[in-house]
Structure 1
């Protein structure tokens, strides 16, 4: 174990002499990635795993993650930050520890679907030297829980799509939940650390990098286990409004084609936003209402939050 002023690093026994071809980069904040780490532990892939605990301050959780890191057969490192850096800074920090020629960004609440998930990514990195690829995500292994019904319905409609559909708007469907990036590409275009809170930093990165490199979409999916309650979703959308404004400022030519932008433009002229916007939120949070109508209300609420930026 080593430490500096703001990070503590724990390596497992396999770390020191490894020459990895693929660096799997997993940020976490108060989530336990143990199930993901266990599923990824395939030494034949010549991968390394790097986990960033982004200032969670949870000693018991950090101890569990460190124990799992030490038991992995793959070379692995845990980085514990003493303060939270956020989504963009945290991922850039992860990449600075990576040693391989390709990075695979995975969220800590993901779980691979195919058994050869990591081997397929390794083959794409080594064999085809792919600059950027997104593998998609599903809800195949996500438990059915009533409090997550709204998020499930919305994700299934807009996010859980197959590669041919994603490829129609390649930058729009890039998320750091399951993203392969070649080292030289990332070193040229890192995540914009001006983004704060939740939302849009990965799509905005794809907008910038997509101007210079093709974005490949494949079906090598992982399950998103971490669905949110309706209130947590609303809070994230509220956080994302300033990030959306940052995207509009830099990439209006691209984002103006997105439904979220077009609906926000359509809603902007309507007076009394301070009255009807909270009503949309209240309906979306009402678990007694039909899920399809709640989802419609939540999308309108998000667009109403974005009105200021369009």
Structure 2
């Protein structure tokens, strides 16, 4: 798809701006309006150092497009909305956002994130001005996320594996990198872009970090944002089903790193079981059983994911 087929909407602050930092937010059917409102509250404090670019990756919702167009035009921050007529995928979308950015540093921020501090942009802009890091991850939290019972399993899993303190993340810097709240210097991104061979959901950001960490230092800091988009067990299971080919692609490219992952070790063990397809169904069933303790359901869902990966590795 060519850039000419994308619809581009700029606000009044866009022309003439010279940002050091570009916030890049792709979305598909999600509504980033609340995130944009929070970011724009910091416009005065960043004093022209930050721009925002939003990519609608083929949602095809005229009502949402009209609402976001109005939001973009009203923002004090320099802002651009790119609307695609069809979905291009997460990796290609992020590469497209980077091509549109003017800042020397790129902050990839997912549309379902909410900054945990009202100095979120200011702290990122200060870091860029002070240290100009190659790669930095600000952190991931659930502080503002919904507490509905239907999201309890996802909350338990994310709390254990993703909401990791800064000091612990720094011990395995390439492992704890998610494009939900990730800063990348432009020259680093140009040297190592996201692999468009990844499709669907999952692992493209981790694989990218593995490549980048061989050449550049990955910094971790405490500037977290909340992931608001918790999923039900059924929705998570569907994402895991999509992610199996991506996990296999990553394992082929980085066998020495992936071999240490618990999910990979579990997949290799499960691969030996002759009744694995039957067992996989039982694992998913246990994860969906509301009468079981949340910890047991979360363990069952992790096993289900490993069983899916066993078919791919």
After TM superposition, is the score higher than 0.5? yes
Deviations 1:39-70 (A, max 9, x none): 11123321000000000011111111111111
Rounded Cα–Cα distance in structure 2 between residues aligned with 1:307 and 1:168: 28
Q: Which residue of 2 aligns with 1:92?
A: 95
Q: Which residue of 2 aligns with 1:65?
A: 68
Q: Which residue of 2 aligns with 1:219?
A: 222
Given the alignment of the two structures, is residue 112 of structure 1 paired with residue 111 of structure 2, yes or no?
no
Rounded Cα–Cα distance in structure 2 between residues aligned with 1:67 and 1:143: 27
Q: Which residue of 2 aligns with 1:240?
A: 243
After TM superposition, give the deviation of residue 290 of structure 1 in Å: 1.2
Q: Which residue of 1 aligns with 2:12?
A: 13
| Pair 233,128 (structure 1): closer, same or farther in 2 beyond 3 Å | same
Q: Which residue of 2 aligns with 1:201?
A: 204
- For these two proteins, the number of residue pairs brought into alignment is 308
Given the alignment of the two structures, is residue 259 of structure 1 paired with residue 258 of structure 2, yes or no?
no
Deviations 1:108-148 (A, max 9, x none): 00000011111110111121011100011101011211111
Q: Which residue of 1 aligns with 2:144?
A: 141
On the 8 A contact 2:120/2:223 being kept in 1, the answer is yes
Of residues 228, 231, 234, the one that matches 1:231 is 234
Rounded Cα–Cα distance in structure 2 between residues aligned with 1:303 and 1:30: 28
After TM superposition, give the deviation of residue 237 of structure 1 in Å: 0.3
Given the alignment of the two structures, is residue 185 of structure 1 paired with residue 188 of structure 2, yes or no?
yes
- Runs of 4+ residues over 3 Å off in structure 1: none
Superposition pairs of residues 270-285 of structure 1, within 5 angstroms: 270-285=273-288
Q: Which residue of 2 aligns with 1:33?
A: 32
Rounded Cα–Cα distance in structure 1 between residues aligned with 2:150 and 2:67: 27
After TM superposition, give the deviation of residue 265 of structure 1 in Å: 1.4
SS at match of 1:52: strand
Given the alignment of the two structures, is residue 169 of structure 1 paired with residue 172 of structure 2, yes or no?
yes
On the 8 A contact 1:12/1:72 being kept in 2, the answer is yes
Deviations 1:131-177 (A, max 9, x none): 10001110101121111111011101111011111112211110000
After TM superposition, give the deviation of residue 287 of structure 1 in Å: 1.9
Rounded Cα–Cα distance in structure 2 between residues aligned with 1:203 and 1:165: 17
On the 8 A contact 2:6/2:82 being kept in 1, the answer is yes
Rounded Cα–Cα distance in structure 2 between residues aligned with 1:175 and 1:281: 26
After TM superposition, give the deviation of residue 308 of structure 1 in Å: 2.7
After TM superposition, give the deviation of residue 5 of structure 1 in Å: 4.3
Rounded Cα–Cα distance in structure 2 between residues aligned with 1:303 and 1:68: 42
After TM superposition, give the deviation of residue 4 of structure 1 in Å: 5.6
After TM superposition, give the deviation of residue 309 of structure 1 in Å: 3.5
Deviations 1:192-237 (A, max 9, x none): 0000000000000000011000111111000000001110000000
Gaps of 5+ in 2: none
On the 8 A contact 1:6/1:83 being kept in 2, the answer is no
Q: Which residue of 2 aligns with 1:53?
A: 56
Q: What RMSD, in angstroms, separates the aligned Cα atoms of the two structures?
A: 1.1
